[in-house]
């Protein structure tokens, strides 16, 4: 009883505090025309229902108590003000009494606290943008020696208005200097920044009650693990669209990161991926509708507003002003023109090519199968269509063609393959190892099931390689891990993403038996994957047998980049028998690889520039002095330019002769697939970009073929004893 009275008193005191804050916000709201938002009845019900699901059925359910409330509180503040640009330390202190009250807010359906926090955030944001606009009148002294930290996620909250003003003065000065170094006049800079800040103020006025609830409930969900999310009605519609890949656009998954709309993933077969001009980590700073159309600055925009601008009618042109991933905040932009297309399963289909590698008097043929996703036409399969499209079926067909072409080895290229169907990953593994377990799955109750292939025959029993990078995730990791555990093939590339969890969607409206949607959906983690050797792919990913660094900023994404990723674990190994043992051949291949890249200038330059760019990107300090900043930019541009030049290094090759320094695809799939929506594709006789990592991977497999031919005893010890189909 005493505890209840204390809670009521505390709640009453906090409510008075929030009333005062609300009145303050209301006064500023009237002055600056941003809405003072309040919770709606259905949101209280949705919060309660979400808590019911998450506390009972999530893989590692956490009781909704004071301890979790504190984590939700921190996560909510991080969602609103990750860079600590708006709230003061005094605001955080003012919130302190409510740190352990959000569990009660969710359970009781009283959402006043999170809404009051959001309204104060709107107030602070309005104040800051208004201050930023005021600085444009007088300009800046770029002869002064001072610096600015672009990332403030680890910084302290500002303790005074003077400290906050100085922070924003440097922030606006940095933005001005970036535009100045890009060749803009002072008048143009004032216009650009004035419009940018005006758009941000307009964005504040567009906020709705649903936006607040979405942010708060997703802060609760993601506290449990990075892949558990709450989707309100609007967010749920967007998620469904992305899963179906049915809306017309550029085929990219975007995220809001440090005020920039950043490319998180490129959808296989989409305009962005096929263009070859965009990559993970690139930042979209402007969008134009049509050829030669004016570019709309989208820095600081809401991500849904930016996505709406990028989407459009099929076959229409959208132009993107892009700040490349490797560039600093004032790096050189590039304009990318794309034709919007609807993405289908056909666009994601596996493709094959053949690469000839010369070794002395020998010429070895390596079949390459590029698999952008583990796709399956689930609808056609459910309808009983015997010819439903699937990754496994397509790869099996391509393997038959490669066998007729008498290739010596096969490489499965899984770079940037973010996963897909678990069933496809299992069946695809069966094409190379035959009957046996492929992956283990443990649910929330600790029950372990084993998924495996039951077919006794294989489609390819010759030498095999798998190429992965840090964007190879989920089903890609299951396949690569199984090939590695069975000793079936050499895994090459870089450490994979590390996602070893299973998610399921819970429709809250279906649970509540609502005819019209009003509660949204929960995507939550319900199980974990484990390798057949008992180790998890979660967090640690798949470590290649032969590794090389391929991606810029790889440490900034992937499972290990999340603060609350589920830990790595081990369970009992499944009952399986390796089909081969590569422990004697991998060191020999590694030695040949090391020796070759010593003399491969393209490979060495690319690895070195990636390392240098990563070092430069991690320096969280940029000068606000014109001379010093110019020097910084030149240094970064030099390394970035070298990276781009090396990445695109190539030579003239006729695709019909199969010779380009060991790097020409022979199959008729390659030229068609390489053509881009912007009309800058690769055609016979044109310059063909050299993919140095694929080039090295096929050379490693060529080395393996040579070892096996020249050492019958070694070949017999590692050759898989498999029955062909």
Given the residues 499, 640, 691, 703, select the one marked as catalytic: 499
Please provide residue 527's backbone torsions phi and psi, each rounded to the nearest 5 degrees.
-160, 170
Find out whether 641 and 633 touch, Cβ atoms under 8 Å: no
Closest alpha carbon to 368 in 662, 73, 14, 717:
662
| Cα gap 670→675, rounded to integer Å | 9
Active site residue 474: yes
Residue tagged active-site, from 474, 496, 623, 640: 474
Q: 27: closest CA among 126, 111, 112, 165?
A: 126
Please identify which of the residues 485, 509, 695, 703 carries the catalytic annotation. 485
> Per residue, what are the HEC states of 637-686?
HHHHHHHHHHHCCEEECCCCCCCCCCCCECCCHHHHHHCCCCCCCCCCCC
Name the residue among 579, 491, 481, 495 with its Cα closest to residue 530.
481
Gap between the Cα atoms of 186 and 138, Å rounded:
11
Q: Which helix (H) or strand (E) holds 370?
A: strand 362-370
The reply to whether 499 belongs to the active site is: yes
> Cβ atoms within 10 A of the Cβ of 569, count?
14
Q: Rounded to a whole number, what is the distance in angstroms from the first to the last CA of the chain? A: 73
Name the token pair of 366.
């390596």
DSSP per-residue string spanning 462-521:
S-EEEEE-TT--THHHHHHHHHHHTT-SEEEES------EEEEEEEHHHHTT-SS--S-E
Q: Enumerate the H helices of 405-467 as residue ranges.
A: 422-433
Positive or negative, the CA dihedral 305, 309, 313, 319 is negative
Picking from 719, 409, 410, the residue whose alpha carbon sits closest to that of residue 581 is 719
The β-bridge relationship of strands 283-289 and 317-323 is antiparallel
Query: How far apart (Å, rounded) are the C-alpha atoms in residues 41 and 21?
Result: 22
Told to judge if 476 belongs to the known catalytic residues of this protein, a careful annotator would answer no
Q: List the beta bridge partners of residue 535.
A: 570
Catalytic residue set: 474, 485, 499
């Amino acid at each position: 009883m005493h505890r209840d009275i204390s809670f009521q008193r505390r709640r009453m005191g906090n409510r008075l505090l929030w009333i005062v804050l609300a009145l303050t916000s209301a006064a500023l709201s009237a002055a600056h025309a941003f809405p003072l938002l309040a919770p709606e009845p259905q949101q209280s019900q949705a919060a309660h229902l979400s808590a019911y699901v998450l506390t009972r059925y999530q893989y590692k359910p956490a009781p909704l108590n004071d301890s979790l409330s504190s984590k939700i509180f921190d996560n909510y503040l991080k969602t609103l003000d990750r860079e600590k640009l708006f709230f003061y330390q005094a605001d955080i202190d003012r919130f302190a009494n409510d740190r352990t009250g959000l569990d009660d807010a969710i359970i009781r359906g009283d959402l006043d606290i999170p809404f009051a926090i959001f309204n104060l955030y709107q107030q602070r944001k309005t104040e800051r943008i208004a201050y930023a606009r005021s600085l444009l009148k007088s300009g800046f002294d770029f002869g002064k020696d001072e610096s600015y930290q672009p990332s403030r996620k680890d910084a302290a909250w500002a303790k005074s208005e003077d400290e906050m003003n100085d922070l924003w003065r440097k922030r606006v000065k940095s933005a001005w200097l970036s535009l100045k170094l890009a060749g803009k006049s002072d008048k143009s800079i004032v216009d650009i920044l004035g419009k940018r800040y005006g758009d941000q103020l307009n964005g504040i006025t567009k906020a709705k009650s649903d936006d607040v609830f979405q942010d708060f409930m997703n802060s609760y969900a993601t506290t449990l693990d990075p892949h558990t999310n709450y989707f309100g009605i609007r967010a749920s519609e967007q998620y469904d669209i992305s899963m179906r890949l049915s809306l017309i656009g550029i085929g990219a998954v975007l995220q809001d990161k440090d005020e920039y709309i950043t490319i998180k993933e490129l959808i296989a077969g989409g305009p962005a991926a096929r263009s070859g001009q965009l990559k993970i980590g690139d930042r979209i700073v402007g969008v134009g509708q049509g050829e030669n159309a004016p570019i709309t600055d989208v820095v600081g925009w809401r991500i849904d507003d930016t996505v709406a601008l990028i989407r459009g009618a099929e076959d229409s042109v959208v132009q993107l002003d892009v700040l490349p991933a490797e560039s600093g905040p004032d790096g050189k932009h590039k304009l990318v023109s794309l034709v919007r297309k609807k993405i289908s399963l056909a666009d994601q289909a596996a493709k094959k090519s053949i690469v000839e590698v010369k070794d002395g008097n020998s010429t070895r043929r390596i079949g390459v199968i590029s698999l952008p996703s583990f796709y399956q036409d689930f609808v056609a399969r459910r309808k009983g269509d015997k010819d439903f499209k699937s990754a496994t079926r397509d790869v099996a067909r391509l393997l038959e063609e490669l066998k007729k072409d008498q290739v010596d080895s096969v490489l499965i290229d899984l770079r940037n393959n973010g996963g897909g169907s678990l069933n496809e990953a299992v069946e695809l593994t069966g094409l190379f190892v035959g009957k046996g377990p492929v992956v283990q799955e443990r649910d929330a109750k600790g029950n372990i099931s084993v998924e495996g292939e039951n077919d006794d025959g294989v489609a390819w029993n010759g030498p095999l390689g798998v190429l992965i990078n840090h964007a190879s995730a989920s089903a890609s990791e299951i396949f690569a891990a199984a090939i590695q555990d069975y000793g079936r093939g050499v895994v090459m590339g870089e450490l994979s993403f590390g996602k070893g969890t299973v998610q399921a969607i819970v429709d809250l409206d279906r649970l509540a038996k609502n005819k019209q949607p009003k509660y949204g959906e929960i995507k939550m983690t319900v199980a974990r994957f484990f390798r057949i050797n008992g180790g998890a792919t979660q967090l640690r990913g798949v470590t290649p047998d032969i590794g090389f660094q391929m991606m810029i900023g790889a440490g900034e994404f992937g499972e290990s980049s999340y603060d609350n990723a589920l830990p790595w674990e081990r369970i009992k190994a499944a009952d399986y028998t390796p089909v081969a043992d590569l422990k004697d051949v991998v060191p020999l291949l590694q030695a040949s690889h090391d020796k070759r890249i010593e003399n491969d200038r393209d490979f060495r330059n690319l690895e070195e520039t990636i390392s240098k760019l990563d070092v430069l990107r991690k320096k969280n300090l940029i000068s606000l002095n014109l001379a010093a900043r110019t020097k910084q930019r030149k240094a970064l541009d030099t390394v970035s330019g070298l990276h781009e030049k090396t990445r695109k290094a190539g030579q003239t090759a006729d695709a019909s002769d199969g010779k380009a320094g060991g790097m020409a695809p022979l199959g008729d799939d390659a030229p068609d697939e390489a053509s881009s929506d912007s009309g800058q594709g690769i055609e016979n006789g044109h310059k063909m970009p050299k993919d140095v990592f694929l080039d090295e991977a096929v050379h490693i497999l060529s080395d393996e073929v040579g070892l096996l031919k020249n050492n019958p005893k070694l070949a017999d010890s590692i050759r898989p004893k498999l029955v062909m189909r």
